[in-house]
Amino acid sequence: MKKVNLAVVGATGMVGRTFLKVLKERNFPINNLYLMASKRSAGTTLEYDGKEYVVEELTEHSFDKPIDIALFSAGGSTSEKFAPIAASHGVIVVDNSAQWRQDPKVPLVVPECNPEDISWNSGIIANPNCSTIQAVAVLKPLDDKYKIKRVVYSTYQAVSGAGVAGWKDLEDGLKGEAPKKFPHPIAGNCLPHIDVFMDNGYTKEEMKMIWETRKILHDPDLKVTATTVRVPVFNSHSESINVEFENPVDVEEVKKILSEAPGVVVVDDPAHDSYPLALDAAGTDDVYVGRIRRDESVDNGINLWVVADNIRKGAATNAVQIAQILAESMS
Ligand code: A2P
């Protein structure tokens, strides 16, 4: 495979640092590596593969040099301004922010679900929301088999999804200190409030799950609803997913389909108290599904419990997988 010139924008952040870990673990074929962040951390160094790299300030001239792929995780406003600049220089941006996800010219990709969408990019590819990625990894093979009619999401999301400040609020809260990032204490609490509230009463996180599920599954009219909740867990999001299908569904067959689905691991042995857990998922790249059972209140419904590391599969790993496909296509 050809070695690529790669930029990581937001390299000092929680997702940015995980990009570097995942790139190394996967032996990503790097020629030149450029680490970029804000002026605040310009001049500091980060290690990659045993070598120190100086972090440079992201500016309008950062992409004047030859760069093939840029992984962005530096917030929506940074992506809004700098992703088009990078793309205009021939860079393919894989963007972790929400900025471009609903743009019809921007593919929204989970490699296990819709890798074919990568090919129609015009310089920017969006990485979906963390909660959406783990959900669709499980829903896609079931949609292919039974055709989904309606989805109800209820999430239990880790504080790492709110960045370093969210993590610190839980650490400090466990010591009795007041929150700085969240509007209420997160220690010993559940906050049904992730991202901002919208006019329809949903939070933006809930609407992201709805919009993004439809876009990735290529079904703009799919009936989806969501309640997203921040819980006092450091890492890994857990989700209860209720799915209703057009066609009759068989629980044993669902287990078989999911056990064969790429990137998905079935953990479902109630007799031995075995089901997906946030602590077990943390630090891994798979999506875990269990508690697979019929929804007895409808004809063709099932309930699922889905857990994944939100910083890895929910962000960094998914973006690196997209970059791997791009790198292969450049060879
Ligand atoms: P910096 O460390 O210089 O602030 P997190 O979400 O974990 O806090 O990480 C956010 C990442 O985005 C950090 O690497 C941060 O860099 C970077 N970042 C934030 N604002 C900008 C900006 N205006 N230009 C470039 N990078 C930015």
**pLDDT single digits (tens) 162-178:** 999 999 999 999 999 99
Lining ligand 1 with CB less than 6 A are: 10-14, 16, 37-38, 40-41, 58, 74-75, 78, 163-164
Q: Which helix (H) or strand (E) holds 240?
A: strand 237-245
Q: Percent of the chain beyond pLDDT 70?
A: 100
* Annotated catalytic residue within 193, 218, 237, 272: 237
Cα-to-centroid distance, 191 and ligand 1 (Å) = 25
Burial label for 131, CB within 10 Å (0-12, 13-18, 19+), is buried
- Atom of ligand 1 lying closest to residue 37 CA: 26
Q: Are strands 51-54 and 45-48 parallel, antiparallel or unpaired?
A: antiparallel
For residue 104, the CA-to-ligand 1 centroid distance in Å is: 27
Q: How many residues does the chain have?
A: 331
Residue 252 binned pLDDT confidence (cut-offs 50, 70, 90): very high
Q: What type of residue sits at position 175?
A: K
Supply the DSSP string of 277-322, one letter for each residue: -HHHHTT---EEEEEEEE-TTSSSEEEEEEEE-TTIIIIIHHHHHH
Helix (H) or strand (E) holding 166: helix 163-174
0.95 exceeded by pTM: yes
Tell the residue nearest (CA) to atom 18 of ligand 1.
74
**Is 218 noted as a catalytic residue in this protein?**
no
State the distance from the centre of ligand 1 to the C-alpha of 38, rounded, in angstroms: 6
Burial 281-298 (b: 16+ CB within 10 A, else e): bbeebbbbbbbbeebeee
* Residue 331 clears pLDDT 80, i.e. is over it: no
Instruction: Name which of 226, 232, 236, 132 is nearest 182 in CA terms.
Output: 232
pLDDT of residue 90: 97
**Distance from the alpha carbon of residue 252 to the mean position of ligand 1, in angstroms:** 46
Q: Does the active-site annotation cover 130?
A: yes
Strands 287-294 vs 301-308: parallel, antiparallel or unpaired: antiparallel
